[in-house]
Amino acid sequence: MPEPLLEVRDLVKHFPLPRTLLDAALRRPQETVRAVDGVSFRLGRGKTLGLVGESGCGKSTLGRCILRLYEADEGEVRFGGVDLMRLDERELVPFRTRMQVVFQDPYASLNPRQAVGNTLLEVLDVHEIGA
């Protein structure tokens, strides 16, 4: 099997919630939002990955972590065999020019009267893929 163009392994990004004075006084532990929690996938050259999910489920955070717009807490992101997590900002520039994340407004892009699955199948039908 050829090496994937993009490989994400066990990516984790948690955000600490603000602590109140009461939390501090009662010595409550810091709470976190687990935005991305152990995501892994491989994507071959020339392939596209679509992430579909509810608002707030971590789709945008995952994209930002892959591009290193957010620093992941754990995990590995390899692009063309290079571990992007080990690169500094200057070294990341050529990789970012070859990667793209598209954020869509679901209210502008999805028909509320049609199931998401049917919307995705329509694209395959139009391009005669998997017929």
- Mean of the pLDDT values across residues 12-37? 92
Q: DSSP states of 114-127 as a string? A: S-HHHHHHHHHHHT
Q: What is the pTM of this model?
A: 0.73
pLDDT of residue 90: 93
Q: Are 53 and 116 in contact (CB under 8 A)?
A: no
pLDDT of residue 68: 94
The alpha carbon torsion through 61, 65, 70, 76 (nearest 10 deg) reads 140
pLDDT of residue 115: 82
- The mean predicted confidence, pLDDT, of the chain is 88
**59-114: pLDDT as tens digits:** 999 999 999 999 999 999 999 999 999 999 999 988 888 887 777 766 666 677 87
Size of the chain in residues: 131
Q: Which of 9-23, 34-48, 61-75, 111-125 is least confident?
A: 111-125
Whole-Å CA distances, 85 to 47, 105, 110: 22, 29, 34
pLDDT of residue 109: 67
- Mean of the pLDDT values across residues 44-54? 87
- CA 62, CA 75: separation in Å to the nearest integer? 12
Tokens encoding 17: 């919630």
Higher pLDDT, 119 or 81: 81
User: What are the domain boundaries of the chain?
Assistant: 6-104
Q: Does domain 6-104 fall into CATH 3.20.20.140?
A: no
